[in-house]
Amino acid sequence: VSFLYEVTRLLDANFPEFMKSAYLINVPKLFTMIWTIVKPFIAQRTLEKIKIIGGGRDQMRKALLENIDCSELPSEFGGSNTAIPWYSNSRGEATLPRAQLFKSEDFLSTSIPPRQKFETSFDLCAGDGISWNFKTDSHDIGFWFLVDEEPMFPYVKADAHVAVQIGLVDVITPGTYSIVFDNTHSKYRTKTVHYAIRIDKKSDEFTG
């Protein structure tokens, strides 16, 4: 309670127009009681910017996408951006790489049986780039992006049947970069994944 109050107080006192919207999702029932205590201490103009989203994943996605572009919303929240970094810039802001949408003829297809994975890997050098699109005919698919078999981004169950999932990475550290479509969470359902991966060998410009 004290933390939430202090944050909203500082924003309202020093940056009254800084916050466009704040979304609270997956809140426990206890939060309703806490929120009732905190609300009287928050200015009305700030309260109007705070949105508490209940219900399931579909309701969450609909509410978030009213003001957030799908390509900038992390896939774990119902968007299409699978490249969510664990790092931030000097001001503490996370950067979301923006990948392009590929043409339909660029896509390959693979069927992944239940309890199975599909992995494709590339040996990349500093200065290279890798970008990807993927979608499914129906249902979600697990997604990993690995560097030397270690995850670069958190695992996500992507709603690839709802929106084409995208991602972009500029390679800083040379290594083996792998894209993994994971259907191990499905007991009985085979998933068909359509994917396109583009490698930009920018390192060749410096060595050649």
CA end-to-end distance (rounded Å), the chain: 59
Instruction: Say what the pLDDT of residue 96 is.
Output: 60
Residue 52's pLDDT band, with cuts at 50, 70 and 90, is confident
Residue 204's pLDDT band, with cuts at 50, 70 and 90, is low
Please check the confidence at residue 88 and state whether its pLDDT lies above 60.
Answer: no
pLDDT digits (tens, 9 = 90+) for 113-139: 999 999 999 999 999 999 999 999 999
Range of 93-97, 167-171, 195-199 with top mean pLDDT? 195-199
Residue 94's pLDDT band, with cuts at 50, 70 and 90, is low
Instruction: Say what the pLDDT of residue 205 is.
Output: 56
Residue 46's pLDDT band, with cuts at 50, 70 and 90, is confident
- Cα dist from 34 to 11, 20, 102, 109, 185, whole Å: 19, 23, 46, 49, 35
Average pLDDT over residues 70-87: 80
pTM: 0.76
Range of 46-55, 97-106, 198-207 with top mean pLDDT? 97-106
Average pLDDT over residues 182-192: 96
Q: Where are the beta strands (DSSP E) in the chain?
A: 22-25, 50-53, 108-112, 117-124, 129-136, 141-147, 150-151, 156-158, 165-170, 175-182, 191-200
Average pLDDT over residues 11-40: 77
Residue 208's pLDDT band, with cuts at 50, 70 and 90, is very low
Distance CA 108, CA 45 (A): 50
Residue 87's pLDDT band, with cuts at 50, 70 and 90, is very low
